[in-house]
Amino acid sequence: MYKTAIINLGEIVSGNWRKPFKKGDGILMNKGLIKKVGTLSRNDIEKSDFVLDANGMTAIPGLIDSQVHIAFGDYTPRQRAIGFLESYLHGGVTTSITASEVHVPGRPKDPDGVVALAVAAKKSFDNYSPGGMRVHGGAVIIEPGLTQKHFNYAAEKGVWLAKAGFGKFKSAFEYKPYVKMAQKAGMIVNVHTGGASIPDSSPINGDHLLDMMPDVSFHVNGGPVAMPDKDFPKVINQSNIALQICQAGNIRTALMCLDLAVGAKAFDRIILATDTPTGTGVMPLGMIKTICEMSCLSSYPPEMIISAATGNNSVIYKLNNGFIERGKDADIVILDTALGCSKKDALSSIKNGDYPAITAVFTQGIPRFIGRSRNTPPPTKKIKVYRNKILNPFDPGRHTI
């Protein structure tokens, strides 16, 4: 593992919405972890293998997309697109969490089959990081006939996610005992929320959520159809279910849910995701788009919304990234205001509704590209490599006309 450093930062967004900024202008990384946040010493800089001069730009934690429809490899059967995960990395997403491998062609629906699928996906992505992205694959798709032994076996093999909402149940109220079995096995249970999205899915509303009590309400604002407005207050006030707002949903209910959660002092339960690739498409900038929308269309500051895409997701899913602080995984994104934007820095451009420019992404402390994302506008300022002993130019590559 390399020792890397970022210097001359203008702002460091922590990922913790209660204390959204870190003091200092530097970040030191080693062996995949953040070692120091603040002002780096000359010794820190001179002993680093790679040093990036951020020229006053903004650092944020790598974005965590908590609902990605992965299958196997960097390919989506739904949109027949290759390389979408690496492209999402160029949208600032350093971690993807599976929405279950429901889009695998011919996916099994018997108990043994859904467990085997989850185990295979988990172990595959343990060995595969497209573009340097960390992908948490493998979720047991809850189907009739699953027993506690099935969930325990999957958990023993490393599977820690389960998904309700796509099983062949006559009523969503039948999910409750299966959700409890998955939770007993130590799994985090996500549940499809709102109207049906694909064949074999079924509408799930607030009463269903309160009956089964999953850990996370996937696309609580609809994926793409939202549950009734009247269900939001009772889910927020009568449970501790995490409330996932996604790009592929209803923006009106997303903003309503955000306001209701803040009013109930439940912002820690608000998390962001894209819920893509689906019929909505492949969206490399889906997380950035959601951050911009939730910020510019609400009264909340961008650093608070960024925390819903980073630190809040980290806490809900029990991860070690999502925060810029010592001991956390060294997943960092560098932002600048885009060339031509009327605002002077990345956060004010987000509040204005303008996509920021992504100029660098680090995962596990390793620079994955430097200079400009393939998917965002160019930055206003120029980023500079101060030292590079890794002997890699880290050119992101660019789409040609």
Tokens of 33: 């972890």
> Do 210 and 192 sit in the same domain of this protein?
yes
> Do 133 and 162 sit in the same domain of this protein?
yes
pLDDT of residue 400: 39
The whole-angstrom separation of Cα 332 and Cα 245 is: 22
Domain count, the chain: 2
> Do 27 and 139 sit in the same domain of this protein?
no
Is residue 135, in this structure, part of any structural domain at all? Answer: yes
The whole-angstrom separation of Cα 376 and Cα 358 is: 6
| Residue from 335, 337, 398, 390 nearest 361 by CA | 335
pLDDT of residue 391: 73
> Do 30 and 78 sit in the same domain of this protein?
no
Residue type, 328: K
Is residue 400, in this structure, part of any structural domain at all? Answer: no
* Residues 6+ away with beta carbon under 8 Å from 315: 268, 322
* Residues 6+ away with beta carbon under 8 Å from 12: 21, 22, 23, 24, 25, 27, 37, 58, 59, 324
Is residue 399, in this structure, part of any structural domain at all? Answer: no
Does residue 224 have a cis bond before it (omega within 30 degrees)? yes
Residue 43 three-state SS = helix
Give me the CATH number covering residue 11.
Answer: 2.30.40.10
Task: Going from the first residue of the chain to its last (401 residues), give the mean pLDDT of each consecutive group of 10, the final group possibly shorter.
Answer: 94 98 98 98 97 98 98 94 96 98 95 98 97 97 98 98 94 97 98 78 90 98 94 98 97 98 98 96 97 98 98 98 98 98 97 98 96 94 94 66 35
Dihedral of alpha carbons 27, 355, 321, 12, sign: positive
> Do 34 and 71 sit in the same domain of this protein?
no
Please check whether residue 272 is in contact with residue 286, taking contact to mean a CB–CB distance below 8 angstroms.
no
β-pairing, 93-98 with 134-136? parallel
Is residue 233, in this structure, part of any structural domain at all? Answer: yes
pLDDT of residue 399: 47
Helix residue ranges per DSSP H, 297-345: 302-308, 311-316
Domain residue limits at 15? 3-60+324-388
Give me the CATH number covering residue 104.
Answer: 3.20.20.140
> Do 341 and 380 sit in the same domain of this protein?
yes
Is residue 313, in this structure, part of any structural domain at all? Answer: no
Is residue 401, in this structure, part of any structural domain at all? Answer: no
Residue type, 236: I
> Do 24 and 73 sit in the same domain of this protein?
no
> Do 103 and 17 sit in the same domain of this protein?
no
The whole-angstrom separation of Cα 348 and Cα 221 is: 26
> Do 147 and 266 sit in the same domain of this protein?
yes
Q: Which of 217, 252, 284 is the C-terminal boundary of a domain?
A: 284
> Do 104 and 246 sit in the same domain of this protein?
yes
pLDDT of residue 319: 98
Residue 190 three-state SS = strand
Is residue 9, in this structure, part of any structural domain at all? Answer: yes
Please check whether residue 281 is in contact with residue 307, taking contact to mean a CB–CB distance below 8 angstroms.
no
The whole-angstrom separation of Cα 196 and Cα 258 is: 23
Is residue 372, in this structure, part of any structural domain at all? Answer: yes
The pTM of the full predicted model, rounded to 2 decimals, is: 0.96
pLDDT of residue 401: 35
